Amino acid sequence: MTDASDSRWCSLPEVAELLDVRLRDVRDLLRDHHLAGTRPQEGGPFLVPRDFLLTVEDGAAQPAPVPSLRGTLMQLTDTGFTVDEAVEWLLSEQEELGATPIAALRAQRIHEVRRLAQTFAV
Type of residue found at 81:
F
Its sign, for the CA torsion 14, 25, 67, 112, is positive
Q: Where are the domains of the chain?
A: 9-118
By the 8 A CB rule, do 15 and 48 touch? Answer: yes
Task: Report the pLDDT value the prediction gives residue 6, as an integer from 0 to 100.
Answer: 63
Report pLDDT for 4.
46
**Residues near 64 by Cβ (< 8 Å), separated by ≥ 6?**
19, 53, 54
- pLDDT digit of tens for each residue in the chain (122 aa)? 444 456 799 999 999 999 999 999 999 999 999 999 999 888 889 999 999 999 888 888 889 999 999 999 999 999 999 999 999 999 999 999 999 999 999 999 999 999 999 997 76
Q: What is the pLDDT of residue 60?
A: 80
Q: What is the pLDDT of residue 113?
A: 97
Q: Which helix (H) or strand (E) holds 48?
A: strand 48-49
CA distance 112 to 100: 12
